[in-house]
A and B are shown apart, each in its own frame.
Chain A
């Protein structure tokens, strides 16, 4: 398969079908909610929508998101090749209605009409030692992006200090402020440390972790577990209607910081948690 066609298929899969771990988490949430509640009804509608989108190969959500792509490639390979293939695929996917045109020029207000623009799609490149290529794609909805937040510790208002107890407080605060606006239940990606940019980048990359898989760092793993409990006790529920499920996942990672700074960046994504990955080895392409 040609690279550009493989990219198009990756976009189609990502926009129209959820990963099995995400769908499983939503099914479990449906089981957890009480009968004859708005929360139960919402999850019923969501599951119906997922099945329909898959069958019709149509977008799960009309906000097909911002296109964020991570490419890991072997030594000697070209970034340009992947950029050109993804741009072709994004424009083609827009024509085929797998994507909504989502690239707007902030100066003129003009929508480019094909998802191509300055830094759109956004690509991260990483060279690695393997002889295969991994392309990971995220379609990140705008509503959920708007409820992300960055905190600078210490935070006096929240009495959050420069430690994991402080981190816990700001995460609770961010999810409280998000209410139902980011299409709860959400998945929360957290980056601790780094500068303002790398902190957010780390938080977003956490969305590629399998749901329920805990951090390798035992302190962070314990905090993830604790926060899953905490956040669901907020009872914001799906869509902010109230209910037992406010978070489907909490993934936290840390990196070293400058002595003067302590950033906690929180990326939020909606239940329509669209990420897919593709591996290219020789002429073989596989998706998961």
Chain B
């Protein structure tokens, strides 16, 4: 298990390979559909300091607000990443993001971005909402909550020992590409029967 703590250096990221198990700690930012569209179309500065050498988490959490107005995460597994494929590489390079956590993997444009700007894709277990919420120790702040709603807002959160697996690295390796090729071959065999 490789321990990573934000801020993460490009050098640390370049050492990671597909299949490595990672335990991540530090401050990271949730961002999904509306957030990615905004980051590409308007390049807002408010999120810049939070993203530099940090991590984007594709996640739309279930959030509780207590009587003092403090937020906490109740369920917080990854959402499907492929929807951000048109945006992800540009966002990572623009904001010097070192890693993205999500599920299902991403495509060739992101793979190129990871190579060029020094990033990795980390896979968390989809659906494990309750379990992962326990690794979120603090909600530091939130942006665009009113406008985007709870699932799509930028939640700046502190995580401890968040478990992930590297499934796309900065050297062009992608488990998702390998599985797709292998399973396509199997499907062709099955369909020829």
Q: Find chain A residues with CB under 8 A from B80 CB.
A: 142-143, 146, 181-182
Mark the stretch among A51-59, A80-88, A254-262 that contacts chain B. Answer: A51-59
Say whether B151 contacts A100, CB under 8 Å.
yes
A45 within 8 A of B: yes
Mark the stretch among A104-112, A211-219, A276-284 that contacts chain B. Answer: A104-112
Say whether A234 contacts B62, CB under 8 Å.
no
Say whether A241 contacts B151, CB under 8 Å.
no
Q: Find chain B residues with CB under 8 A from A237 CB.
A: 179
Q: Which residues B41-76 have CB closer than 8 A to chain A?
A: 59-64, 74-76
For chain B, the count of residues having a C-beta within 8 Å of the partner chain is: 47
Using C-beta atoms within 8 Å of the partner chain, give the interface range for chain A.
35 or more
Say whether A111 contacts B123, CB under 8 Å.
no
Say whether A97 contacts B74, CB under 8 Å.
yes
Known: A109-B34, A180-B105, A230-B190. A62 touches B131 (CB 8 A): no
Known: A60-B127, A180-B176. A240 touches B104 (CB 8 A): yes
Bound-state Cα–Cα, A53 to B127, Å: 11
Q: For chain A, what secondary structure do more than half of its interface residues adopt (helix, strand, loop), or is it mixed?
A: loop
Say whether A42 contacts B104, CB under 8 Å.
no
Q: Which residues B116-135 have CB closer than 8 A to chain A?
A: 123, 125-131, 133-134
| Contact flags A175-191 to B (C-beta < 8 A → 1, else 0) | 01001111100000000
**Interchain CB contact (< 8 A) of B179 among A101, A169, A240, A270:** A240
Partner-A contacts on B (CB < 8 A): 34, 59-64, 74-77, 79-80, 82-83, 103-105, 123, 125-131, 133-134, 148-152, 163, 165, 167, 175-176, 179-180, 182-184, 186-187, 190-191
4 nearest interchain CB pairs?
A: A111-B149, A181-B104, A62-B75, A183-B126
